[in-house]
């Protein structure tokens, strides 16, 4: 059998393109903003993770330009060897100050961060205990490790307790959960997770990619939201969302972070974050610290869109985050609706399996802090009309 045979048999994307309902890889021709130009037309952007709107913040842009002038375009090596800049060290220090941890280390992407943390810490005989709705990078990190992955039902503490009882108190184990779940917009039940972890001798890791900047004191994330900063063992985050750049980090006790610096293969064998990315992240972080009201602005515009959708009779999942999912059941209908919205001038995300269970496909909308009430109302009008047309 030819190894490429599976490629020829994969026809879903080609069939969707032929039907005119393929919703992916649209070309953006302007900055990430509440209104963008995509493929020559103005669209309302309800599908970005630029939660605080900082990709267009001039001080963040200027920081990136200045870093390129000083350091050049790249580091040409890993952090382990020639790729550590003073920018990286300063960023790690200020991240620790922001989220209240002893030590931090940066990775080149968020996906790589979860691979690097889990594969370094979990070895043969260890258990990685995962919420079923965790991000794909967490699952791939578990695969890369030699540990055994066990899943519990989404945010279901009885299910988590059963898993912990089965694994037993003596086995080394790491409970891993998203802080804010990227598809459903749910917030992890962190108090009960930590309580169970302490009872069953487990450590806790929170992927706060979508929590940082959006919840907690001044946008400090899920642990801050629950006032549990000192009770979460590892906090992971990304720079490609609220921090308007690219990369990721792990933060925790110094002894744990130092171990990972010397044992995480995705960290050791990857080039470090380029100067411009490190500088823009640092500038965005400082902007967030200086403007704690941004998180409240984001909450207000998220409530605005929810109210607009309610007024128009649109059914959506109630959340307290800037992620507002609208469930649409099957793949075909979801792709059709998303393309119709795109043609009407509203960009949203089509979320299909494996990112969701079968027949739980959804439209994922997400907000930026600088979107206006008028744009929320315009988008809600178009969403309501397209859903009604498709009997949703």
Residues marked active site are found at 182, 210, 241
Per the CB < 8 A criterion, the answer to whether 207 and 180 are in contact is no
Q: Which two tokens stand for residue 182?
A: 């990227």
How far from chain centre, in Å, is Cα 155?
17
Report the DSSP beta bridge partners of residue 251.
Answer: 104, 235
Q: What is the rounded distance in angstroms from the CA atom of residue 372 to the CA atom of residue 268?
A: 44
Roughly how many angstroms between the first and final C-alpha of the chain, as a whole number?
A: 44
Q: Which two tokens stand for residue 76?
A: 């040409």
Report CA Rg, the chain. Answer: 21
How far from chain centre, in Å, is Cα 289?
20
The contacts found for 122-127 with CB under 8 angstroms, 24 or more apart, are 122/146, 122/147, 122/174, 123/147, 125/171, 125/172, 126/171, 126/172, 126/173, 126/174, 127/167, 127/171, 127/172, 127/173, 127/174
Q: Which two tokens stand for residue 14?
A: 């080609």
Neighbour tally for 72: CB within 10 Å: 12
Report the DSSP beta bridge partners of residue 36.
Answer: 43
Q: What is the rounded distance in angstroms from the CA atom of residue 234 to the CA atom of residue 164?
A: 19
Tell me the three state secondary structure of residue 350: strand
Q: What is the rounded distance in angstroms from the CA atom of residue 115 to the CA atom of residue 173?
A: 16
| Among 190, 244, 184, residue whose Cα is nearest residue 212 | 244
Per the CB < 8 A criterion, the answer to whether 378 and 44 are in contact is yes
Q: What is the rounded distance in angstroms from the CA atom of residue 286 to the CA atom of residue 279?
A: 11
Tell me the three state secondary structure of residue 41: strand
Per the CB < 8 A criterion, the answer to whether 201 and 170 are in contact is yes
In degrees to the nearest 10, what's the CA dihedral of 128, 131, 135, 137? 10
Q: Which two tokens stand for residue 104?
A: 């931090």
């Amino acid at each position: 059998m030819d190894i490429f045979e599976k490629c020829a048999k994969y026809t879903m994307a080609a069939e969707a393109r032929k039907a005119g309902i393929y919703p992916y890889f649209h070309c953006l021709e302007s900055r990430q903003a509440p209104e963008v130009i995509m493929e020559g037309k103005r669209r309302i952007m309800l599908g970005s993770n630029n939660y605080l709107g900082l990709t267009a913040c001039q001080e963040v842009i200027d920081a990136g330009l200045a870093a390129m002038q000083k350091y050049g375009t790249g580091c040409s090596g890993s952090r382990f060897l020639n790729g550590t800049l003073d920018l990286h060290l300063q960023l790690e220090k200020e991240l620790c100050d922001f989220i209240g941890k002893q030590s931090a280390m940066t990775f080149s992407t968020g996906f790589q961060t979860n691979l690097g943390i889990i594969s370094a810490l979990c070895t043969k005989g260890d258990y990685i205990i995962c919420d079923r709705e965790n991000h794909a990078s967490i699952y791939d990190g578990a695969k890369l490790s030699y540990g055994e992955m066990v899943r519990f039902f989404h945010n279901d503490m009885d299910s988590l307790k059963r898993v912990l009882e089965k694994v037993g108190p003596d086995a080394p184990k790491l409970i891993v959960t998203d802080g804010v779940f990227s598809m459903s917009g749910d917030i992890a039940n962190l108090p009960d997770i930590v309580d169970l972890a302490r009872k069953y001798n487990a450590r806790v890791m929170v992927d706060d990619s979508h929590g940082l900047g959006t919840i907690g004191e001044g946008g400090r994330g899920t642990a801050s939201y629950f006032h549990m900063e000192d009770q979460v063992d590892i906090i992971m985050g990304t720079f490609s969302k609220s921090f308007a750049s690219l990369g990721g980090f792990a933060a925790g006790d110094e002894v744990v972070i130092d171990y990972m610096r010397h044992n995480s293969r995705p960290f050791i064998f990857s080039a470090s974050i380029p100067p411009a990315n490190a500088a823009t992240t640092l500038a965005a972080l400082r902007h967030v610290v200086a403007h704690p009201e941004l998180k409240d602005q984001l909450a207000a515009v998220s409530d605005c869109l929810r109210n607009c959708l309610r007024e128009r009779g649109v059914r959506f999942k109630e959340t307290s985050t800037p992620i507002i999912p609208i469930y649409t059941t099957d793949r075909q209908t979801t792709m059709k609706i998303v393309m119709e919205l795109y043609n009407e001038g509203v960009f949203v995300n089509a979320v299909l399996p494996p990112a969701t269970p079968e027949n739980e496909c959804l439209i994922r909308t997400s907000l930026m802090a600088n979107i206006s009430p008028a744009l929320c109302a315009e988008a809600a009008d178009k969403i309501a009309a397209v859903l009604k047309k498709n009997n949703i």
